[in-house]
Amino acid sequence: RVSDGKRFVHVNTHFEHTNDASREKQAEVLVKFIKTFEYPMLLTGDFNTESHTKAFSTVISAGVTDSKLLADNVEDTATFHGYSNVNTTIDFCFVTAENIAVSKYKVCTDKIGGDHPSDHHPVYIEFVMFSFSHIDSLSICFFIAITYV
């Protein structure tokens, strides 16, 4: 952070949406990349995969945890709706649990002008990093906006 020189890493990704093998390879490459950092980490994105898949398992093998599982306060619903009857969770915010405590996890379903602003709902978390000499409270919201033409 510029304000005090303390460091953390925020990585955002967007995995391929049509092919499991591609997502599995992307997860392997991502894990190699994020393992190069030794700072508290937030890993967010549209992983285009659910929590029961090999790609998801590969991601968490890097030592990150789904923030929803750590949060004291959870407001959960599916993150992808596709402007249709599809309801699945494929967007995640992972954290390094040994130095980040999550106080709130929320999937934001607000509408603007009567409609959702994206085919994905934003994920919002509030968290505290405690690897520093004092506790720092922060929040993050990531918003995945994808338009297919």
Tens of each residue's pLDDT in the chain, 149 residues: 666 677 889 999 999 999 999 999 999 999 999 999 988 999 999 999 999 999 999 999 999 999 999 999 999 999 999 999 889 999 999 999 988 999 999 999 999 999 998 999 999 999 888 754 445 555 555 544 333 33
Give the number of other CB atoms < 10 A from CB of residue 44: 22
At residue 143's C-alpha, the angle toward residues 19 and 114, to 5°, is 105
> Which pLDDT value is given to residue 141?
53
Q: What is the DSSP-derived secondary structure letter of residue 131? A: S
Nearest to 58 by CA among 44, 46, 74, 47: 47
> Which pLDDT value is given to residue 4?
65
> Which pLDDT value is given to residue 149?
30
Type of residue at 141: C
Q: For residues 65 and 85, what is the distance between their CA atoms, to the nearest angstrom?
A: 28
Tokens 């649990």, residue located: 97
CA–CA distances in Å: residue 7 to residues 60, 82, 85, 87 = 22, 36, 41, 36
State CA 67 to chain mean position distance: 8
At residue 38's C-alpha, the angle toward residues 22 and 142, to 5°, is 55
> Which pLDDT value is given to residue 139?
55
Give the number of other CB atoms < 10 A from CB of residue 12: 12
Nearest to 44 by CA among 72, 85, 12, 80: 12
